[in-house]
Amino acid sequence: MLKFFRVASLVEGCSYLVILCVTLGLISRDFVATLGMLHGGLFIVYVLLSLVVAYKQGWSVTVWLLLFVSALIPLAFIPVELFLQKELKKRQQHPAVTLR
């Protein structure tokens, strides 16, 4: 589940950057509706997965809130990616730990 959340985080972060490219005029405004719906769906998936993963990993509410806020800030998905990489390494080093 953590790997799937990692992919969702990267895709959602990149979709946010694409939306910002429309705002900056780098992408035609003709695509706003399509890109907006796509990004909205990805955002919902990200938030739901963050809740599930935070619960299964036993993360605190503070960690979840930081994950949530990072979805609202452009380029904040990069530190989230680094955090998730570290968590995956921890999990690989201690595979006997049973998660909820």
Place of tokens 């959340």: 5
> For 47-65, how does the pLDDT look when each residue is reduced to its tens digit (9 = 90+)?
999 999 999 999 999 999 9
- Strand positions, DSSP E, the chain: none
> For 11-49, how does the pLDDT look when each residue is reduced to its tens digit (9 = 90+)?
999 999 999 998 888 888 898 899 999 999 999 999 999
Per-residue confidence (pLDDT) for residue 67, from 0 to 100? 95
Q: Do residues 99 and 57 lie in contact, with contact meaning Cβ atoms separated by under 8 Å? A: yes
| pLDDT of residue 97 exceeding 70 | no
pTM of the model: 0.86
Q: Do residues 39 and 19 lie in contact, with contact meaning Cβ atoms separated by under 8 Å? A: yes
Rounded-to-10 torsion of CA 95, 48, 65, 60: -40
Selected residue with higher pLDDT from 97 and 95? 95
